Structure 1
Amino acid sequence: MVSSFNDSFSVVCLCAEWCGTCRAYRAAFAGLGARFPGARFHWLDIEDQADQLGDIDIENFPTLLISRGTAILYFGVMLPHPEHLVRILDNFQAQDGRESLAYAHADPLRRAWQKDPDLQNLLRYLAP
């Protein structure tokens, strides 16, 4: 499994245009692409792209999904402060592929993300 591991990072922000917090966060989120040139940053409006989300439950905004290859490392609400995302991405990028896979399967919640068909479909939709 590790030998075929895709090492690329994706960062997906699930927001809504009507959300003032999302609108305020969007420019900062987009700007992080320059700091992390090896990562793909995606902004998804949950209403405009609802068909791609399936039954993914969005509890609050912004909700982020961070993956390395097909391994989901983070899925949940994150305060809309770019420094929080920078810190978590720095930590994830410091891991090698084996460490990321171990992290993705280290607890029941993260293991559930790996098997969630809607999250996996979203990753496939966003794949290059």
Structure 2
Amino acid sequence: MSSITLEPENQHQLAQRMQDDVWVVACLCAAWCDVCTSYRPGFDELAAQHPDKLFIWIDIEDRADLIGDFDVENFPTLLIQRGDDVMFYGTTIPDHRIAHRLITAHADKTDAELKMQAHSSAEYRSWQVERNLRKALA
């Protein structure tokens, strides 16, 4: 399985798939970005390694209507979310092994640990409101 590119035609379907506590890993990139283009195969490989998680590729220019308010400082920017809990949002080194470690580290936490982390700092608390992909798609 590879990642799914967010398109107007599949936005509702993706929102439905995010209804439960499914893990979502989203990569925010741009079509013109060479780093993003070279990162995509590794991101798709991660999707194949984690079939229990939903991997979404989002072109920030094509889908600015949805994620225009998400600050993207550099590429690739990853968003890792479970249910309504945003666990990670930020630029990462364009190496899918780094993303794999981030995903695994969060997925290995208990529900209580995830809830505590989601509200552990002002930055994390702001992510829950400003970077919640599930709410943006709804």
**Under a length normalisation based on structure 2, what TM-score does the superposition of the two structures give?**
0.81
1:36 aligns with one of 42, 45, 50? 50
Identity of aligned residues (%): 40
| 1:14–1:46 Cα contact (<8 Å) kept | yes
| 1:7–1:68 Cα contact (<8 Å) kept | yes
Deviation of residue 126 (structure 1)? 4.7
| 2:67–2:136 Cα contact (<8 Å) kept | no
| 1:42-121 mapped onto 2 (5 Å cutoff) | 42-116=56-130, 119-120=131-132
Q: Which residue of 1 aligns with 2:134?
A: 123
| 2:121 maps to amino acid | D
Q: Which stretches in structure 1 are left out of the alignment for 5+ residues?
A: 1-5
1:69-118 deviation line (CA, Å, top 9, x unaligned): 110000110111011011111111111212111111111110111122xx
| 1:16–1:47 Cα contact (<8 Å) kept | yes
Higher percent of residues as helix: 1
**Under a length normalisation based on structure 1, what TM-score does the superposition of the two structures give?**
0.86
Deviation of residue 47 (structure 1)? 0.9
Equivalents in 1 of 2:85, 2:112: separation in Å? 11
Instruction: Find out whether 1:7 has 2:21 as its counterpart.
Output: yes
| 1:22–1:62 Cα contact (<8 Å) kept | yes
Give the RMSD, CA atoms, in angstroms. Answer: 1.7
How many residues were matched structurally? 120
Q: Which stretches in structure 2 are left out of the alignment for 5+ residues?
A: 1-19
